[in-house]
């Protein structure tokens, strides 16, 4: 009887701890850091990109959080010896407000996140300003979270459904060059893996 009572008590504590992670009034902290590098041997070019974006969210009701990410991104495409074009650099200030809904009980919960990623920055060739850039998008990303403790969530998600508008306004001109992209990226072979902290 004592074993049954202890097992039952432990199950209640685990269930309560899992529920408490996504209850109203809690805070979720996370973010992303990325670095990409590529080199095209025959074209004598290389590119690198760096980004950092911490995020914070608040549970306005049980299993529903709203928040934002604020960060910085940098991209550089450079020409090595023998190439025919100059270096291009892009630095951006990024903001990504989001709303996230969790479903499920226990240590595993599914979630859907709707975010609105935006970025504003400058494009340069060496030390010459080429113009200003802007990106606006919408993204619906599904995923699931595993809670090994009451304060840590390990997440696996895919980019999902997305739309993005990118534009550049050349220096000294009122005209903008813009492009639109839309897609569904549910590649299970290249998921996003992350860790969030719940307080």
103-107, 118-122, 155-159, 192-196, range with the lowest pLDDT: 192-196
| β pairing state of 64-79 and 88-103 | antiparallel
pLDDT-based confidence at 66, cuts 50/70/90? very high
Domains held by the chain: number: 1
CATH of the domain at 120: 2.40.160.20
Question: Residue 12: pLDDT above 70?
Answer: no
Q: What percent of the chain has pLDDT over 90?
A: 45
How far apart, in whole angstroms, are the C-alpha atoms of residue 107 and residue 148? Answer: 7
Tokens of 160: 């999902």
pTM of the entire predicted model = 0.77
Over range 138-163, report the average pLDDT: 90
Q: Over the Cα atoms of the chain, what is R_g? A: 22
Average pLDDT, the chain: 82
Q: What is the pLDDT of residue 174?
A: 78
CB within 8 Å of 63: residues ≥ 6 apart: 22, 23, 101, 102, 103, 109
How far apart, in whole angstroms, are the C-alpha atoms of residue 159 and residue 136? Answer: 16
**In this predicted model, what pLDDT tens digit does every residue of 171-196 receive, in sequence order?**
777 788 889 999 887 665 566 778 88
pLDDT-based confidence at 41, cuts 50/70/90? confident
Among candidate residues 129, 118, 125, the one with its CA nearest the CA of residue 167: 118
Residue 175's domain comprises 2-198
How far apart, in whole angstroms, are the C-alpha atoms of residue 162 and residue 166? Answer: 13
How far apart, in whole angstroms, are the C-alpha atoms of residue 44 and residue 47? Answer: 11
Among candidate residues 143, 145, 155, 144, the one with its CA nearest the CA of residue 185: 143
For 107, which DSSP code? T
Question: At 179, which helix (H) or strand (E)?
Answer: strand 177-185
4-8, 97-101, 131-135, 166-170, range with the lowest pLDDT: 4-8
């Amino acid at each position: 009887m004592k074993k049954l009572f202890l097992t039952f008590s432990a199950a209640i504590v685990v269930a309560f701890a899992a529920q408490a992670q996504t209850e109203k009034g809690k805070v979720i902290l996370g973010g992303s850091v990325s670095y990409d590098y590529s080199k095209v041997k025959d074209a004598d070019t290389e590119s690198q990109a760096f980004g950092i974006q911490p995020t914070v969210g608040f549970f306005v009701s049980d299993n529903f959080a709203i928040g934002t990410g604020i960060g910085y991104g940098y991209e550089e495409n450079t020409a090595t010896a023998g190439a025919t074009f100059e270096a291009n650099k892009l630095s951006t200030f990024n903001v990504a407000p989001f709303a996230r809904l969790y479903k499920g009980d226990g240590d595993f919960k599914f979630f859907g996140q709707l975010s609105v990623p935006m970025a504003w920055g400058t494009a340069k060739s060496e030390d010459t300003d080429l113009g200003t850039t802007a990106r606006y998008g919408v993204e619906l990303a599904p995923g699931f979270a595993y809670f090994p403790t009451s304060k840590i969530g390990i997440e696996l998600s895919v980019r999902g459904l997305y739309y993005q508008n990118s534009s550049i306004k050349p220096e000294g001109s009122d005209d903008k060059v813009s492009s639109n992209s839309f897609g569904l990226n549910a590649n299970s072979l290249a998921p996003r893996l992350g860790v969030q902290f719940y307080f």
